[in-house]
Structure 1
Amino acid sequence: MDLSNLKAPEPNKKNRKRIGRGQGSGYGGHTVGKGHNGQRARSGFKERFWFEGGQMPLQRRIPKWGFTNNFRTEYVAVNVGTIDLFLEAGKLKDPVISLDDLIEAGLAGKGDLVKLLGDGDIEKSIEIEVHNASKSAKKKVEDAGGSVSFIEN
């Protein structure tokens, strides 16, 4: 037995449809095997994945609400209490905390803008460098004897 003796099984010998080759082909003139007209029978028809055959599409049926501001500035929130915990654990250096230190400690990503928020308490005097800060966070840091400096976005 070798490749020259092999034969295809009987069902595999079926000829393909040769549409558009005249009436005698069985798929010839007029509708060419595509039924009677309709959008899908036309040349150039491409069915989009959202197409629902003429019924009201899902993206138009569901209710819409709210507003998305495309110009919003997204900040990564870092709380004063979190800074204090990281200082106690030794993950941040004591007197001066730069943006690179926050990234290295895992509190922010490389391209993130950081905002200091006032949740929690801080006892140590620190100088911290962030893009923005809430009033309460700035007050808590300054009350502990530290300062907050801002980086331009």
Structure 2
Amino acid sequence: MQLNTLQPRNRPSREKRVGRGGKRGTTSGRGTKGQKARAGAKIRPAMRDIVKKLPKLRGYRFHSFREKPVAVTLERIVAAFPSGATVDPAALLATGIIHKIKGTIPLVKVVGDASVNKRLTVKGMRVSRPAAARITAAGGSVVAG
């Protein structure tokens, strides 16, 4: 008897690898043979392929490519600017409240209803109704644009 001739008394039988995924065993509910049994057999509707190539035109009324404004809270604006200051996107950029996105100043929307105790002129930005009410109540103004 040599070491190289030794064999295990009962060799473990290798499990047969059968249809992964799906329901129960060998064919995983695909039946046998044919186009639908093969891997990657997907019948693709032609219209869907066209739509998927045009991601900007997907969805109802094509809002997917609309530029969304960056929300800035009224609380941060009040803390960053003195009374009588003019708040616009360039001023927000200078104070570091907003940052350029892809090299351009983004659209900005002032939100929130924090208490305002300074006269501020907000222009060149969208402003929510509660924020506009607080700014005008404190003697400031909201210029559309």
TM-score where L is the length of structure 2: 0.50
Structure showing greater Rg: 1
TM-score where L is the length of structure 1: 0.48
